[in-house]
Amino acid sequence: MGSDTCQHYNVSSGCYVHNKTGEVALIKIIIILVITCSSVFVTYAVSTDSPTSSPDDDKTLGVCRSVDVRNSVQMFSALKGCRIVEGFVQIVLIDRANDSDYSGISFPELTEITGYLLFYRVQGLRSIGQIFPNLAVLRGSTLFLNYALVVFEMLHLQEIGLTSLTDILRGAVYIVKNPMLCFWDTIDWDLIAPNGKGLHYFDGNKMSNVCPKCPTNQTCPLSLTTTDSETLCWNSRYCQRICPSHCNGSSCSASGECCHSTCLGGCQGGLDSGHCVACRNYRLLKRCVNKCPDKTYEYLNHRCLDEQQCYAKAKPLETEFNTREYPYKPFNGKCTISCPPGFLEVRANDGKYKCERCTGICKKECPASNIDSIASAQKLHGCTSIKGALNIQIRGGSNVVKELEENLNMVEEIDDYLKVVRSFPLVSLNFLKNLRVIHGQKLESSKYALVVLDNQNLVELWDWKTRSSDFQIKQGKLFFHFNPKLCLSKIEKLRDVANLGNFTDLEVAKSSNGDKVACNVTTLRVEVYKKRSQAALIKWEQFKGPDTRSLLGYVVYLIEAPYQNVTMYDGRDACGGDGWRVEDVSVENKDKWINHLLARLKPFTQYALYVKTYTIASEKDGAQSQIQYFRTAADTPTEPRMLKVYKDKSYELRVEWQPPLHPNGNLTHYIVSYVHEKDSEDTVEQRNYCSEPIDHNLIDRQKNEEQQTQQKTKETTDEPKDENCHCPQKVVDNTQREKEIHFEDQLQNLIYVKSKRSMPSKSKIFTWTDDSSLELLLFLCQHIPTACAENDSTLFERNTVSRGKRSTSENQLDSEEKSSIQKLEGPRVVSVIVNTTSYTIRDLHHFALYNIKVRACREKEDENDTNTSHHCSSESLTSARTKPRVTADDLDPQYPFWEISNKSTSEVLLRWMEPADPNSLIVNYEIEYRRVDHENYKPIIECVTSKQFQSSGNIYILRNLSPGNYSLRISATSLARKGNWTVPKYFFIEEDSTLTFLHWALVILTILFIIMVFVVFYFRKQYTKVPDRKLITSVNPEYVPTVYEPDDWEVSRSRVKLLKEIGQGSFGMVYDAINTLHYAIINHSKR
């Protein structure tokens, strides 16, 4: 029996039950399990080895496992209290939200994610940084297609805003199809994620030329990896943090101080290893260390745990193949799930699992397996013991034998039986070269330990000359039938090596091994009595031969048949490449009718089938049905492909797409929905478009390149008009497109999962979602007849992908409504029904951003097809902006109004209204004025932003104008283009009369002041004594020096007072002077 629990990650699963005929107790157990597990979805295996308590209280430490937030904003509560997420964080498919719903959602305590961070189709979210303001580190231990950060189809996202993010240790960045996202190219992603250098991918985001700029009130660092010297920032408020060069690669705090060398992502509250935001290597309690100390173990390459904590760690949610809930074990300094090569996981006496070195060849036990592909064979790589049965049924593929040899060559023991059935590529069983023993603890049909059936190209079993002959079959018999190239002597050699007794024709048919035989064939009556999109129930009458013991079983042959012209043998390939699918059906009861479930079918596909009996070779009687045709039910179409938008005019967009890859029904129409996403005024106001104008030339160049690309695409895809010409093969470079398709396919596989549906009533117990529950359903059909009653409509109720509720009006539309326009989800969303793969959306606003969604819808199949959620596909999404209208940004010709200010004749007040219907938003105005009464007067242009103009009451003042005649004109600039100048207006600045009077008064006063200064200077010069003048003499060396002797008539200069100049004499100027004499006077005092 298989697993006794219901488990599968993110998939609504039933219980897998392996049933066996004749075991009544087993049947009872299965029925009990059905009742127990009928309401269990998305659960995880509960091991009996669960620890009783966990000393490492992850909740207290703020450590969480992988988090998946989807469908509703309320699901963000799963992140509450998380400081570190050990795994991934996915936030996806929230389509019923607006920006106000995120106002109170923030997780500042989350600083580290060990896996990847993914955002996909989250409506209304403006900034990721709002959700995770302190997220500093993405370790990338698990990646999504080599990417650690994925932001995809976020229609309302305006900025990444992860201002604290400094390190992505592994993986690259993928930011695509976010039409309103700015600041995606102002981040040095190579600096944050150096290991992803060259792999980062950006496309379909907002052009940076129309986005706000980096902060102007602080100095942001320059890019170190580009040659453009661009400033780096997360938004218009926060720069990208780059640590100083003297930190030598270590992280730094927000203020630029170097943190401890063990820190990663920065530090807070201190610079030592105890204050790190995250750890570069490992975290031990609350400190960062370079390696884990003794008696602790490395866990997920970032934490140190002790032995008890290691055993208490539950398996990661993304682990698919480990069956135990607590698979971790300490070994060699690591807390690991799997033992390394050369070691084997064993369970000790205390119940704990450990890794022990193998003696000789390392034994590795693996569960029973069904090898039907190379991938399933690879799961058994290194296995030495199969704890159960080994079934091999490989119909085809490349390098099959080589893969089998590489992955099954270590198998030594099989506990139950070996079954090789209908494996066309096999020539021998030498890939099981080390198989020594088949224990036969459980036997096929309770008899056979080695079953080799219908292997058309099998020539030998083993080459006994090159391998040892210690092969044993401890219990059970041989069963060889319909191996036309396997000689009987090869089987007899095996019998002798294994020391088995003689076999009968029932066990080994002498006539069907090594040769083909003919049989008398009667007709089996086959009916297909229940059909769903991926499964069908068939039944046929039990074959009644002369000897019931000769009937070995039945074989169902199935193939896709677009046309009802299939024959049984034409085009059949012995290597299995003919498209036929073959399924064995054992004879388990003696009922009149045998039921069989055909699973894993394609929706809305026609199949051909026939059924034949398997009898022993000596039996001449057999049976075979005629070829029957049936078509599976329709299902949800896949989304339309290659959605493109062409901008032909300013008021329309032409949308083209290709039909779904899998229509899964008759497509009747497409629903084209579009909504106008207005440009954010808040975003525009963050940039000063006067000091940082838009480079419209760059925008024009990008538009021209885009038009040329679209034209080339159109030329390569348009069909030739000449009906007689031969269509050339399309020459299109699809490398990048294939990468995008691969990314989106993987994203769909990861994101879209089975919905979690409950089964409150007994009638819902038969809901199936996967192959294991299909097998259970077949068992119930065989043992509980009422379960397969034809009027039970719940038999094949299929769980669908959770895409959110759709309104009936979107899926179930009357024919007369196909030409109408419907308003859905409020007045902003418009949906149109079209019948072709293109549609021109008209009456749009010029230079407006539109989000466009296209869904494919099929017709209602019949009256039982009432589940309208299956009628239409998920949405194919794109965004496009209409062309600008040339005159939309022109001001009304009557503007501007002007008037001379009452405060000053040198000021002119200007008034105007913004354009009535501009191209998106007006960002600034330019005012040009010049003197027309001067020929060489250069025009003066002043700029005012739209925000400044509005805040001043739609008034702008020209100041400090000198008198004269002026011309004036104004233009407005939008996000799209610069508008035309207005018709020039003229105004005259007169000289102010008050100013003239004051001017003349000032001139007169100036003249009087100058006269007064002159008069004062004159009189002062006339009545001021001649100042003492020093005689500076020099001695001529040619003369003998003489001693000066004064004449009697000479008077000392100090006794002379100069009065005025008399005239010029022969020896100099002659002065009128007074010689003063000093006398001594005695004044006798009175007695």
Single out the residue of 462, 517, 112, 68 nearest to residue 288, CA to CA: 112
Q: Is residue 478 part of a domain?
A: yes
How far from 111 is each of 66, 130, 168, 422, 539, CA to CA, in Å? 14, 13, 12, 55, 59
Q: Does residue 462 share a domain with residue 435? A: yes
Where does 36-140 show beta strands of DSSP type E?
A: 63-70, 84-94, 112-113, 117-122, 137-138
Single out the residue of 63, 109, 56 nearest to residue 87, CA to CA: 63
Distance in angstroms between the alpha carbons of the first and the last residue of the chain: 159
Where does 738-859 show beta strands of DSSP type E?
A: 821-824, 829-834, 838-841, 849-858
- Say what the pLDDT of residue 379 is: 83
- Give the integer Cα–Cα distance in Å for 368 and 380: 10
Q: Does residue 657 share a domain with residue 605? A: no
Q: Is residue 326 part of a domain?
A: yes
- Give the integer Cα–Cα distance in Å for 811 and 824: 12
Q: What is the pLDDT of residues 665-724, one digit of tens each?
A: 999 999 999 999 888 888 888 888 888 888 776 666 655 655 555 555 554 444 444 444
Single out the residue of 141, 88, 90 nearest to residue 300, CA to CA: 141
The CATH number assigned to the domain holding 976 equals: 2.60.40.10
- Say what the pLDDT of residue 692 is: 84
Boundary (domain end) residue, out of 193, 212, 231: 212
What is the per-residue burial (b if ≥16 Cβ within 10 Å, else e) of 937-959?
eeeeeeebbbbebeeeeeebebe
> Rounded to 5, what percent of the chain is helix, strand, coil?
20, 30, 55
The CATH number assigned to the domain holding 183 equals: 3.80.20.20
CB proximity list for 767: less than 8 A, separation 6 or greater = 14, 757, 759, 794, 797, 798, 799
What's 918-977 look like in SS3?
Answer: CCCCEEEEEEEEEECCCCCCCCEEEEEEHHHHHHCCCEEEECCCCCEEEEEEEEEEECCC
Q: Does residue 149 share a domain with residue 67? A: yes
- Residue entry with tokens 């070994």: 331
> Does the global pTM surpass 0.75?
no
Q: Does residue 567 share a domain with residue 493? A: no
- Say what the pLDDT of residue 700 is: 61
Between helix 771-783 and helix 24-37 the angle, nearest 10°, is 120
Q: Does residue 203 share a domain with residue 62? A: yes
Q: Does residue 654 share a domain with residue 621? A: no
Q: What is the pLDDT of residues 618-676, one digit of tens each?
A: 666 778 899 999 999 999 999 999 899 998 888 999 999 999 989 999 999 999 999 99
Where does 441-580 show beta strands of DSSP type E?
A: 448-453, 472-473, 477-481, 520-524, 526-531, 536-541, 551-560
- Give the integer Cα–Cα distance in Å for 114 and 99: 28
* Tokens matching residue 346: 């064993």
DSSP line for 717-742? HSPPS-TTSPPPPP----HHHHHHHH
- Give the integer Cα–Cα distance in Å for 435 and 451: 15
Q: Does residue 207 share a domain with residue 61? A: yes
- Say what the pLDDT of residue 359 is: 80
Q: Which helix (H) or strand (E) holds 674?
A: strand 667-677
Q: Is residue 710 part of a domain?
A: no
Q: Does residue 645 share a domain with residue 580? A: no
- Say what the pLDDT of residue 1087 is: 46
Q: Is residue 526 part of a domain?
A: yes
Q: Does residue 611 share a domain with residue 551? A: yes
Contact call for residues 838 and 655 (beta carbons, < 8 A): yes
- Give the integer Cα–Cα distance in Å for 818 and 859: 13
Query: Rounded to 5 degrees, what angle do the CA atoms 122, 656, 177 make?
Result: 30
Contact call for residues 432 and 423 (beta carbons, < 8 A): no
Q: Does residue 494 share a domain with residue 396? A: yes
Q: Is residue 276 part of a domain?
A: no
- Say what the pLDDT of residue 102 is: 95
Burial of 150 (0-12, 13-18, 19+ CB in 10 A): buried
Task: State the CB neighbour count (10 A cutoff) for residue 506.
Answer: 17
- Give the integer Cα–Cα distance in Å for 268 and 257: 10
Q: Is residue 800 part of a domain?
A: no
Q: Does residue 379 share a domain with residue 341? A: no
CB proximity list for 785: less than 8 A, separation 6 or greater = none
- Say what the pLDDT of residue 269 is: 82
Sign of CA dihedral 740, 741, 745, 748: positive
- Residue entry with tokens 């706000």: 212
Q: Does residue 536 share a domain with residue 451? A: no
The whole domain housing 342 covers: 309-357
- Give the integer Cα–Cα distance in Å for 421 and 582: 10
**Within the chain, which residues score under 70 in pLDDT?**
1-57, 225-229, 319-323, 397-398, 515-520, 568-578, 617-620, 697-738, 752-828, 902-905, 992-998, 1023-1044, 1048-1049, 1078-1087
Residue-averaged pLDDT of the chain: 79
Boundary (domain end) residue, out of 944, 973, 989: 989
| Count, residues in the chain | 1087
Q: Is residue 748 part of a domain?
A: no
Q: Is residue 446 part of a domain?
A: yes
- Do strands 297-299 and 940-945 pair parallel, antiparallel, or not at all (unpaired)? unpaired
* Tokens matching residue 1025: 């004594």
- Give the integer Cα–Cα distance in Å for 184 and 165: 14
Boundary (domain end) residue, out of 631, 661, 693: 631
- Give the integer Cα–Cα distance in Å for 733 and 161: 35
Number of domains in the chain: 7
